[in-house]
Structure 1
Amino acid sequence: MPAFAPFTLATQRLQLRALSAADVPALYRMYSDPDAMRYWSSAPWDRLQQAEDYLAAAQAGYDSGDLLRMGMEVDGELAGIINLYSFNRQNRRCDIGYMLDRAFWGKGYMREAMASVIDYAFRVLDLHRIEADIDPRNAASARLLKSLHFVHEGHMRERWIINGEICDTDFFGLLGSDWQAAR
């Protein structure tokens, strides 16, 4: 992908934007929360430097076009993150990942933000397919993906070892044609 120039997406209640240095404390708060990280693919953060490294990776990804990391802002506060990553240019696909600060759970913010990012990915980035890989115990994440027209496409046993725990993976996929038909 070409480099991502700074841009914002707006929904009824949210702003989606590039991350900045001012987001480091909120990033650390989100990713150091054991409840929010329960089904994540790594252990909760325990150093502020991890948030700074995450921001640096976001900037490098914007510059290279390899990672689009959007901050979700609610009333001026960073409430979550949506990542488009692992772009496969030839096949016009990528993976999607997301994190929501626990203080914002249960309000429909992530669905609203994901719909905007997914629409951008298909319409502007001309992707054909978006994939998600989640812990099968994360029922809220599975419901979110299904509400956005992702299809459960597979299950892999004992794929990850996270913080000493062996975990399975469920795979979901969304085609651009399915997204358009559902809109």
Structure 2
Amino acid sequence: MPELKPVTLTTERLELRWMDERDIEGHYAVFSDPVVARYWSSEPWTDIEQARQGIAATMAAYADGSGVRFGIVLRESGELIGNVSLHHFFEQNRRCDIGYALASKHWGQGYATEALRVAIRYGFDALNLNRIEADIDPRNVGSGRVLEKVGFRKEGYMPERWFVFGEFADTVNYGLLRRYWD
């Protein structure tokens, strides 16, 4: 596992910082929204304890080097609007997965693209990754556009990989190699 140290990444409009207990309410607000959770791998949260548990798992991942979750914060207001995570590190192969979620009221404003670009740069530069992978529900067209905009390529399709909202959901796999990025 890579050695993870707290870091803050900034863009023109955003600050990406390690999430912690101060983010419980904002984290809950994002994942309790059915519109956000629609294409996630679990149903919307219904109790703030789920956010507490999510933050506790995030803190444990920092400690054991298995993942980092950056809160996406609007620099102007300080509002937490989502997160982006690098996780499931395979150190020998220098690869990991990326995941992200953004509060639905902030969709369509370029925040996800902006956040992913800086998180990917961190992964390739600071963590010396060679490959970053993502998987999405193919019905999540907006997320597919974001991935492609930052350089990911479609690599595969897995029918009925998840069971969410009482139905099976397919997955499209994406990959981004350092050489595509550079």
Same fold (TM over 0.5): yes
Any unmatched runs of 5+ in structure 1? Answer: none
* Conserved 8 A contact 1:93-1:128: yes
Q: Residues 95-137 of structure 1: CA distance to partner in whole angstroms, max 9, x if unpaired?
A: 0000001121111011001000001100110000000000000
Q: Distance in 1 between matches of 2:19 and 2:152?
A: 26
* Corresponding residue for residue 17 of structure 2: 17
Q: Distance in 2 between matches of 1:178 and 1:44?
A: 35
* Corresponding residue for residue 84 of structure 2: 82
Q: Does 1:105 align with 2:107?
A: yes
* Conserved 8 A contact 1:149-1:174: yes
* Corresponding residue for residue 150 of structure 2: 148
- Partner SS state of residue 82, structure 1: strand
Q: Distance in 2 between matches of 1:102 and 1:162?
A: 19
* Conserved 8 A contact 1:3-1:63: no
- Partner SS state of residue 127, structure 1: coil
Q: Distance in 2 between matches of 1:177 and 1:24?
A: 37
Percentage identity across paired residues of the two chains:
48
* Corresponding residue for residue 163 of structure 1: 165
Q: Distance in 2 between matches of 1:122 and 1:4?
A: 14
Q: Does 1:114 align with 2:116?
A: yes
* Conserved 8 A contact 1:127-1:176: yes
* Corresponding residue for residue 177 of structure 2: 175
Q: CA deviation at 1:5?
A: 1.6
Q: CA deviation at 1:6?
A: 1.2
Q: Which runs of 4+ in 1 moved over 4 A?
A: none
* Conserved 8 A contact 2:2-2:91: no
- Partner SS state of residue 76, structure 1: coil
Superposition RMSD on alpha carbons, in Å? 0.8
* Corresponding residue for residue 125 of structure 1: 127
